[in-house]
Amino acid sequence: MTLAQMAVEVLSCAGGREKTRLSRAHAATWFAAREAGTPLEIGRAAPPDRPARPAKPELLDPREVPKRKPGSPEGRIALLHAVAHIELNAVDLHWDILARFSDVPMPMGFYDDWVKAADEESKHFTLMCDCLEEAGSFYGALPAHAGMWRAAEDTAHDLLGRLAVVPMVLEARGLDVTPGMIGIFRKAGAKSAVAALETIYAEEVGHVAFGSKWFHFLCGRHEKDPKVVFHDLVQTYFHGALKPPFNEEKRAEAGLPPDFYWPLANA
Ligand SMILES: [Fe+2]
Ligand SMILES: [Fe+2]
């Protein structure tokens, strides 16, 4: 199997637990082959326009998703559910970048990074599912945001645009909001949710860093100014301004300097 074929298999698998199990198995196969010095071929494969998804959760327009108080048990379940949904989408996003842009020649490290990110998102989804089940719920019990795939569709023909919007805007936003979420669960004494979110928080820094690394690499390949290109692409593909407050420390750790995101705040 080629890497692109493995990606299409994950994208075509509907069930959340099944998708993430397959994702982790394929990641293990990829890294075992790399370690053995016999890397898999990247190959070519056409990813589906939209990844397969389970029948539940029902997908609603973000404005129709009911808001719940974060201080209540129901609110905390809704929060875990929303994170689970984001993680499942992230699994598909990382496999999608591997399949969709398989025609762009990239160094081996590019594939290693996104396979690793997909593997970690799969773990994050599983952790969120376990927390939901511990709280008496499950992924699919509540409605979730439709339109999470929009960023992928908008940037389906533009690798630089994909890197700018997905890891460097959306995943970077995760770094801004996760500490507040951890605080909510810590206050509620929800130990396993705190531990899971701390794992997610630590590993997401890496995903943003992969985005910044390969964004800068591609800008260098085409002799473009990364900051100017970033501003152009975010304005083209991302709908709305970036929301402060920003987690400047973790963004810096991930290779995102302030002059990348501040000019796009409240623009
Ligand atoms: Fe994640
Ligand atoms: Fe991520």
Q: How far is the CA of 222 from the centre of ligand 1 (A)?
A: 30
CA distance 247 to 214: 21
Closest ligand to residue 113's CA: 2
pTM score of the predicted model: 0.97
Checking if the pLDDT of 157 tops 60, the result is yes
Note the pLDDT of residue 266.
73
Tokens standing for residue 214: 């390969």
Domains, the chain, with CATH or none? 3-264 (1.20.1260)
Judge whether 25 and 13 are in contact, CB under 8 Å. Answer: no
Note the pLDDT of residue 198.
98
Checking if the pLDDT of 111 tops 70, the result is yes
CA distance 189 to 45: 46
Checking if the pLDDT of 267 tops 70, the result is no
Q: How far is the CA of 86 from the centre of ligand 2 (A)?
A: 9
Checking if the pLDDT of 239 tops 90, the result is no
Judge whether 59 and 127 are in contact, CB under 8 Å. Answer: no
Q: Phi/psi of residue 243, each to 5°?
A: -100, 115
Q: How far is the CA of 206 from the centre of ligand 2 (A)?
A: 8
138-152 pLDDT per residue, tens: 999 999 999 889 999
Q: How far is the CA of 63 from the centre of ligand 1 (A)?
A: 23
CA distance 117 to 56: 25
Q: Phi/psi of residue 144, each to 5°?
A: -135, 165
Please identify which residue in the block is written with the tokens 């940037």: 155
Q: What percent of the chain has pLDDT over 90?
A: 93
CA distance 142 to 197: 20
Note the pLDDT of residue 147.
86
- 173 vs 70, more confident: 173
Checking if the pLDDT of 65 tops 90, the result is no
Taking a 5 Å cut-off on Cβ, the residues next to ion ligand 2 are: 90, 171, 204, 207
